[in-house]
Chain A
């Protein structure tokens, strides 16, 4: 064989090998199409082969993708406006169906957004506002509602686009801009009510504490008065006993002495005393010595 033939053969083989071999990366799926018709799908990474020039390779992203439909406004069952921003994480699950139905990523995202929007609208429209936002756990069903929307979107996406929706969640829940003024008004009124309540509570507690202190004070003083009266009473009784004990020794003499003391007290300078001339006091003066007894 002539050397140039060897070289040509080698070149042709090398070109064929290079043209037919391709790599499917771990981040992608490969679909081999022949004149536009899909013939093979590779969902695992590795070195693959095709017929050069005839087969084309279409690569699809196999990673977890994030889609955020735009912020939209919804109406709840009780006619309240809410704004919600959802997001989805998803993967291409069936590359062939995905290629056939949506072709490109932008189209897939647009359809997911549309499905999400309509499902959220339907779900929010069938529940009252307090099912979405509430401090009472038995009313609050946000998790379940979003879960139902997630299931429906997942079903639709899998059935129609070959997409596996991994998750759908609400990133944000808010009031529409035009409602904010009234919300702020309400918040302000609520705060004023709470402030007023605090102040009147303070007043009430203060009055109560003061009244209790006053009552306690009155009680302490009354108690002291009672104790004092009892002490005085005991002393009085004791004194009376002492007097009685002493005076019982000679009651007649006591009457005499006490009568004299009484004279001392009851007779003052406005009293007029009429003394008979034969009273013991005057008798001596008028009749002379010896008549005193």
Chain B
């Protein structure tokens, strides 16, 4: 009886122990997904749920199932044309990393960063061995393709936007085609510069461009100064002429008036007026000249000194 009881107790104890063990094992299948992430669940290597949302979940524990998480809301950054560790240690990247060949066979140093996120966790986690490395090479090749078709002047000035857009579109197209699960958000061109040994020559072109603008603006200043002065001078000439003609007409009118009055006087007493005018003129003229009066009875010969 006691043995049977003990056996019963013993078997019940084993059952409880077994149940506890099973529960404890099952509890290791509880997992959490942070708000920034999605999780992917697998059973025996087969992807079951490619997008488990944030929260607390249960999944088959190992060795039957596996859970992997990927941060989908975070923006990651991939440098192009330099390495992050070089940047941190403030070391210039090797030329084979930083320099690109342009369409007109110049060499440019180009630094960019590609901002990306994980768009499809399952693809990102399981479809490619090194998705971010692939992204680096894809971005590099997109830059190579775009730069080798653009001129150095385009790349340094107006072509930057075109370059960025081309690179972004091209790189995304390749990533999608290869199923890498990454999405490119933006491509930032941090710097485009000529190599250090030729930077002075490029700077001189900038200076020359500025010189050209300066010369043109100086000439325009000259023109803007000259023309108003000329217009003023022209106005002066015209108003001088107008003033002169006013004067001329007034004098003419005055003269005409005077003559008309004189002529009226003359009509009344011609002889008197004529004699008076004659004598007045003689009075004015004769005092300033050398005068000789010849006797009509004489022989009319002039004294010798008149010929002197």
Which A residues are within 8 Å of any B CB, using their own CB? 23-28, 45-47, 61, 63-66, 68, 71, 83, 85, 87, 89, 129, 132-135, 137, 140, 142-143, 166-167, 169-175, 177, 180, 183-184, 186-188, 190-192, 194-199, 201-203, 205-210, 212-214, 216-217, 220-221, 223-225, 227-229, 231-232, 234-236, 238-240, 242-243, 245-247, 249-250, 253-254, 256-257, 260-261, 263-264, 267-269, 271-278, 280-282
Check B208 against A231 for contact (C-beta < 8 Å). Answer: no
Give the residue name and chain of the A residue nearest to B42 (CB): A26
Which B residues are within 8 Å of any A CB, using their own CB? 42, 44-47, 63, 95-96, 99-107, 126-130, 133-134, 137-138, 140-141, 144-145, 148-152, 154, 174, 177-180, 194-195, 197-198, 201-202, 204-205, 207-209, 211-216, 218-220, 222-223, 226-227, 229-231, 233-238, 240-242, 244-246, 248-249, 251-253, 255-257, 259-260, 262-263, 266-267, 270, 274, 277-279, 281-282, 284-286, 288-296, 302, 306
Complex Cα distance, B103 from A9, in Å, reads 76
Give the residue name and chain of the B residue nearest to A282 (CB): B293
Minimum CB–CB distance for B171 against chain A, Å: 10
Complex Cα distance, B111 from A59, in Å, reads 40
When the two chains form the complex, which single residue of A47, A171, A195, A208 contacts B141, counting CB atoms closer than 8 Å? A171
Give the residue name and chain of the B residue nearest to A193 (CB): B205
A-B contact pairs, 20 of them (CB 8 A): A71-B96, A134-B148, A135-B149, A140-B149, A142-B149, A169-B141, A199-B208, A206-B215, A214-B226, A221-B230, A221-B234, A221-B237, A242-B256, A247-B259, A271-B290, A273-B290, A274-B292, A278-B296, A281-B282, A282-B293
Q: Chain B's interface: helix, strand, loop or mixed, by majority?
A: helix
Complex Cα distance, B270 from A207, in Å, reads 73
Give the residue name and chain of the A residue nearest to B125 (CB): A27
When the two chains form the complex, which single residue of A63, A225, A271 contacts B127, counting CB atoms closer than 8 Å? A63
Do A225 and B222 contact each other (CB < 8 Å), given the known contacts A23-B45, A26-B42, A217-B227? no
Q: Chain A's interface: helix, strand, loop or mixed, by majority?
A: helix
Complex Cα distance, B252 from A271, in Å, reads 30
Complex Cα distance, B137 from A65, in Å, reads 12
Complex Cα distance, B212 from A231, in Å, reads 45
Q: Which residues of chain A are near B260, meaning CB under 8 Å?
A: 246, 249
